[in-house]
């Protein structure tokens, strides 16, 4: 797993609630487009779920 993927997952753990990609970008200091790409990959891997439109969370 890449370092940035770990940062994104860590942000979800800390928040403890569903987040938007922009929220994760703010928390991690990463670019929003980069965060969106990582979230897409994590979703495909089953590490992140979509509880409601435009929000993501840990399963």
Q: How do residues 25-35 score in pLDDT, each as one tens digit?
A: 999 999 999 99
Q: Give yes or no for residue 36 having a pLDDT over 80.
A: yes
Q: What is the pTM of this model?
A: 0.91
What average pLDDT does this structure show over 17-21? 97
Q: Give yes or no for residue 10 having a pLDDT over 80.
A: yes
How far, in Å, CA of 1 to CA of 16, rounded? Answer: 21
pLDDT band (50, 70, 90) for residue 13: very high
Inter-residue contact 48 to 57 (CB < 8 Å): yes
Tokens 């790409």 correspond to what residue?
A: 37
What does pLDDT average to over the chain?
Answer: 96
């Amino acid at each position: 797993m890449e370092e940035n993927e770990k940062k994104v997952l860590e942000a979800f753990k800390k928040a403890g609630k569903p987040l938007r990609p922009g929220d994760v970008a703010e928390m991690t200091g990463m670019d929003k487009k980069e965060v969106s790409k990582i979230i897409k990959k994590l979703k495909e891997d089953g590490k992140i779920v979509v509880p409601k439109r435009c929000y993501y969370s840990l399963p």
